[in-house]
Amino acid sequence: MEVIKGIPVSPGLIIGRAFVLDDTVRFIPRRTVPVEGVPHQHERLADALGQAIADLERDRDRAASELGPEPAKIFEFHLGLMRDPTLIKHITTHIERDHVTAEYAVSEEFRKLTARFRAMGQEVFRQKANDLLDLDHRILSKLIGESEDRLARLTEPVVLVAHDITPTRAAMLDREKIIGIATDAGGRTSHASIMAGALGVPVVVGCQHLTEHVDDGDMVVIDGRTGVVIIRPDEQTLEQYRADIERMGTDRLALRELAPLEPVTLDGTRISLMGNIEFPYEIKEILANHGDGVGLYRTEFLYLTSKGEPTEEDHFQALKEAIELLGGKPLTIRTLDLGADKKTQQAAEEPERNPFLGLRSIRFCLQNLPMFKTQLRAILRASALGPVRVMFPLISTVMELHQAKMILSDVMEECRDEGIEYDAEMPVGAMVEVPSAALTASTLAREVSFFSIGTNDLIMYTLAVDRGNERVANLYSAAHPAVLHLVRAVVRAARRWNVETSLCGEIAGEVEYTMLLIGMGLRILSLVPSQIPQVKRVIRSVDMKQCERLARKVGSFESERQVLNHLREEVRKVLPELG
């Protein structure tokens, strides 16, 4: 039995069989196979080599026809190595002797050969080493592609174990077959983690070297509450976790009974609880938990789940589905937050070195106007079907907000000229996700109908901590006094200008923060739909004086540790069962 600690992303507890996905050629963990599985690994290797050789021959022939015979000779070296019986013998021997997977044997043998070429010192040999890396990539991509096919052909529920989960992968996972997720890499509030959490299964990320210790079919426990992953648990541990699962089922029943009740404090202040969603189907859970609507609709899934760029009709149909499911409750749409995602960077001619500080979100949209206008046209068309609000992400200057509103106005004019119905009074808001926006909230407030404080990015940009980096995850904290100061500043500026303000970061669904957020003046929280009943339970157990007193007390603290300890103490006083 092995216990590995990671970062909890999505709560819950599951026991299941592991499905290990090799999703990057740069990281191939060492995994063994049973003796009877060795022949299958040899077959996989032979198939991958055959496919890679066929690809190389096609590339050689194309180079010969388009560029001439000399450039085509480059591929002859590659083909010679691919057919080299000595190299292939080393790989097959590795599989036979150590009972390892074909991809691990390929990776190791090419690594050794590359190291020998580089050790020769001369430039010509260093260049050959790069050629070897290309061949390694070609063969591994064939083997890993087979792993992708296996994922698509799942016939029973599994726990997905991978080095990392991209937003694209997360968006395409089968909700009926994936019952838990654990990864080596990732941070708590990375976009990929949020999308994985939207599946409603336990998710733990940042487990460092998990994939090196898990084999396909291993029994694993994923504890999304504490961030613990247990590999091959013993019977005593299994019994303990089965009992925990049973107790959690009882707690869920109690929360289900609470769901229809209003989120009102003991002294009568109503707090609106909205849902953050990635996909329209999540609206069903918002309604089941009696949420007030959608406070954040992330629309990137259309780009992440399709090979081409979605059309206006694709956008419209997704929005129409969401509006119909909501049945009159409001839908708050965040325009595209693209640019920092892996798929966009891969498509770029020159990928950015630091995309989170580069051309992302509203900046990306303002430089890709046809794409931006396509989405805005779909949003306007959808606004005729029900209550829709639109908000622009990652606003850092009032100029960006002016430009975005001007483009929206242009699209409105086009729709009007074409006779397309839309809501001319559709509320327009801005997301406050960077310190510059928080510090100039009074200026921005004069330009919008509402604010939505996105604490996931606000924490990252305030503390200079990559929210997707497991190595600095301990530094990423919403309880940092600087972050709380900025949130408080936005709420005060919004109140001064009578601008509605919500908070849609992950902390909106964490019960430790509920009293603080209410005490700071927030009356709208947007959170993961499954967390609505838990937050509602806290709201119904406190009064405003308690919350405001807590907020004042926390405002005097100098460290996030002090803040967190005090928040946990206070919530345990209100709800001892959470302790």
What is the Cβ-side half-sphere exposure of residue 32, based on CA atoms within 13 angstroms? Answer: 8
460-485: string of b/e by CB count within 10 Å (b at 16+)?
bbbbebbbbbbeebeebbbbbbebbe
Q: Locate all alpha helices (DSSP H) within 297-397, ordered by sequence.
A: 301-304, 312-326, 342-347, 362-366, 369-383
pLDDT at 349 over 60: no
Would you place residue 84 in the very low, low, confident or very high pLDDT band (cuts 50, 70, 90)?
confident
Catalytic-residue membership of 504: yes
Which position among 207, 365, 504, 547 bears the catalytic label? 504
Would you say residue 83 has pLDDT above 60? Answer: yes
Which tens digits make up the pLDDT trace of 544-557? 999 999 999 999 99
pLDDT digits (tens, 9 = 90+) for 250-263: 777 777 888 899 99
Does residue 140 or residue 548 have the better pLDDT? 548
Q: What is the DSSP annotation of 221-288?
A: EEETTTTEEEES--HHHHHHHHHHHHHHHHHHHHHHHHTTS--B-TTS-B-EEEEEESSGGGHHHHHH
- Let me know whether 113 and 88 are in one domain: yes
- The residue ranking higher by pLDDT, 387 or 65, is 387
pLDDT at 24: 47
Is 142 inside any structural domain?
A: yes
> Average pLDDT in the 473-480 region?
90
pLDDT average, residue stretch 531-560: 95
Co-location of 130 and 236 in the same domain: no
The answer on 99 and 244 residing in a single domain is no
What pLDDT score was predicted for residue 466? Answer: 85
* Whether residue 328 sits in one domain with residue 449: yes
Residue with tokens 């119905």: 421
The domain boundary, picked from 195, 226, 249, lies at 249
> Which one is catalytic: 191, 213, 315, 480?
191
pTM of the full structure: 0.72
* CATH number reported for the structural domain that contains residue 454 in this entry: 3.20.20.60
As a whole number, the mean pLDDT across the chain is 87
* pLDDT for 200: 79
The string of pLDDT tens digits covering residues 304-348 is 767 678 999 999 999 999 999 999 999 999 999 987 665 566 555
Window from 301-305, 309-313, 437-441 with minimum mean pLDDT: 301-305
Domain boundary among 198, 226, 249: 249
For position 128, what pLDDT does the model report?
A: 64
Higher pLDDT, 468 or 426: 426
**Same-domain check for residues 102 and 239:** no
pLDDT of residue 25: 43
Residue at 108 is within a domain: yes
For residue 370, the enclosing domain spans 259-578
Domain-embedded: residue 429 = yes
Phi/psi for 566 (5° steps) reads -70, -40
Mean pLDDT across the stretch 213-228? 89
Task: Express each pLDDT in 512-524 by its tens digit.
Answer: 999 999 999 999 9
- 40 catalytic? Reply is no
Are 271 and 417 in the same domain?
yes
Please state, in angstroms and as integers, the Cα–Cα distance from residue 30 to each residue in 26, 106, 209, 449, 502, following that order. Answer: 13, 11, 11, 55, 47
